[in-house]
Amino acid sequence: MNSLKIRHTAIAVTAAALLPFSLVACSDSGNATKAAPTAAAEDAGKTGEDTPTPAGGQMTGEAPFGPACAGVPKEGAGSFDGMAKDPVATAASNNPALSTLVSAVKQAGLVDTLNNAQDITVFAPTNDAFAKIPKADLNKVLADKAMLTKILTYHVVGRKLSPQQLESGSFETLQKGMVTTTGSGESYKVNDTANVVCGNVKTANANVYIIDTVLMPK
């Protein structure tokens, strides 16, 4: 009986002696667990500060706009991404809506001129824009290289223009005549006669504004 009592007493003493160490261990473990997320949170905060703004955010207000943009192919050389890789005459040749313009540029011998130019703006008439011109008159222009060159270079400005610059602008063209632009948001006119139907299209060397009417120099 005495032996059993002594044994219980020894166990109690041992437990009492070990208890503080157990509490310290639990406390240290809890602190370590708590510290880890704090460090991770700080690292996450630093990562957020160091990470550049996503490209999508930088493109706000820079994307092509206008009703005719919906007709641009989603993939391939004729898509917006595809055209951005090619100089302007090559890029236009991959857009089915600009085939008449491309034929006219080739007829005038301006492909290399446009492709080799740096930082230009092109007001590009659609096929429908050329279709507004009576066929006899259009054929006459296409057959007259000097006249055709004069008309086509009137659609080119020797610097890149942003949509904001079109709000109320007057710009000298490669033909040496002037074009005027008005509008805001996603609605712009050139010379008060042509509507921008797909604007701010990027090519490797130009900003392109696709228009619904051929511009005629004075």
pLDDT of residue 9: 42
pLDDT band at 62 (very low <50, low <70, confident <90, very high): confident
Q: Does domain 66-211 have CATH number 2.30.180.10?
A: yes
Q: Is the pLDDT of residue 162 over 50?
A: yes
pLDDT of residue 35: 42
What 3 state SS string does the chain have?
CHHHHHHHHHHHHHHHHHHHHHHHHHHHHHHHHHHHHHHHHHHHHHHHHHCCCCHHHHCCCCCCECHHHHHCCCCCCCCHHHHCCCCHHHHHHCCHHHHHHHHHHHHHCCHHHHHHCCCEEEEEECHHHHHCCCHHHHHHHHHCHHHHHHHHHCCEECCCCCHHHHCEEEEEECCCCEEEEEEECCEEEECCCEEEEEEEEECCCEEEEEECCCCCCC
pLDDT of residue 118: 96
Q: Is the pLDDT of residue 156 over 70?
A: yes
Mean pLDDT of 4-18: 42
Mean pLDDT of 18-30: 40
Q: Is the pLDDT of residue 196 over 90?
A: yes
pLDDT band at 27 (very low <50, low <70, confident <90, very high): very low
pLDDT of residue 61: 54
Q: Which has the higher per-residue pLDDT, 61 or 189?
A: 189
Average pLDDT, the chain: 81
pLDDT band at 139 (very low <50, low <70, confident <90, very high): very high
Q: Is the pLDDT of residue 57 over 60?
A: no
Q: Give the closest residue to 207 by CA, choosing from 73, 75, 92, 56.
A: 92
